[in-house]
Chains A and B, each alone.
Chain A
Amino acid sequence: MKAKRIVTFVALAVILAAGLYAMIYAFASIPVTYDGSDTDVTALYADPSSYDVSDPDGVADIIVNTNLETTHAVNSVASVVFDYRGYDTMGESFILLTAISGSFVILRINKNKKEEDDDE
C-alpha cells in the first residue's frame, strides 16, 4: 500500500515537473503570429475590395484576397461556414433534423400512453 502511494506521488511530481518545463519553454520561445493589431476592421468592412492589405502581417492579406477571389463573400466566417465547410453545416442541420424526429417519435409514444392511462 505504501509503495503504491509513493509511486503515485512520484508520477504526479514527474507530470508537474514536465508541465512546468513545457510552460517555461513555451513562454521563452513562443512564436510570433498574427494578432490583428494592424488591421483596421472598420475600413475593411466598409470597402473590402480596395483595402490596403500589403501592410499587415500576412494572414489578413491571404484571408481577404482569397475570400474575395474565390467566394465573393464579404464575411469570411460565412464563406467558411457555407462554402469551404458546407458539408459540415449540412451535417449539423441533419443532426438537428434527426434529433427532432427522434424526440418526436419518443414523446408521441409517451403521449399516447399517457392518454390511454387517463382513459382507464
Chain B
Amino acid sequence: MSKKHRKVKNVVVKCAADMFLPFSTTFGLCVILFGSMSPGGGFQGGVIVAAACLLLYLGYGYKTASKAINMEVLGTNEAVGAILYVILALCGIFLGVRFCQNVFFEGGQIGEMLSGGTITYMSYAVGYKVLTGVGFLLLLLLGLLAPDGDSEEETEGADK
C-alpha cells in the first residue's frame, strides 16, 4: 500500500514538474529581458529561472537533475556574470563619466527594450549571475542534504 501510494504521488509530482518547467523558465527569462523596463529585474528573474532546478529535482530526483545540469559550468559562469557587470560599469569611466553611469543609450527610441544603454546590459549580467549562482547553490544543497531518497527507491526497485 505504501509503495503504491508513493508511486502515485511521484507520478503527480512528475506531471506537475513537466507542466510547470517550461512556463517557469520562460517567465523568468521574460522577467530578466524586461528587467530594466518593468517591475521585476535581473535578480528576481534569475531566482525564478533557478527554481527550475528545484522542479527538476522534485520530478526526477537528484541524479537526473545533476546529470541534466552541469554544476561546474554553473559555478564558473557566476564569476563570468560578475566580471561582465564590472566591465559594463567601468564603461562609464572609460568614456569619461561616472562609474556605473548609463552610456551607449543611442540605440533606439526611449521606451524600447534595448534602448536603455548599459542599464539594460547590467540588468542582464545580474540576472545571469543570479541564475547560475542560485542554481548552483540549490544543486549543492540538494546533493548534500537529500540525495538518499533517489537511491532508496532504486534499491527498492532492484529488490522487486
Contact = CB atoms under 8 A, between A and B. Distances in A.
Interface of A: 48-49, 68, 70-75, 77-79, 81-84, 86-87, 89-90, 92-94, 96-97, 99-100, 103-104, 107, 110-111, 114
B24 interface: no
Interface of B: 35-38, 41, 43, 75, 78-79, 81-82, 85-86, 89, 99-102, 105, 110-111, 115-119, 122-123, 126, 129-130, 133-134, 136-137, 140-141, 143-144
Q: Interface SS of chain B: helix, strand, loop or mixed? A: helix
Interface of A is mostly: helix
Given A78-B36, A96-B129, A96-B130, A87 B100 contact: yes
Of A83, A87, A104, most buried by chain B (CB within 10 Å of CB) is A83
Contacts of A94: 82
B149 to A, nearest CB: 16
14 contacts: A48-B111, A71-B117, A72-B115, A72-B116, A74-B116, A75-B37, A78-B119, A86-B100, A87-B99, A87-B100, A90-B86, A90-B89, A93-B126, A97-B78
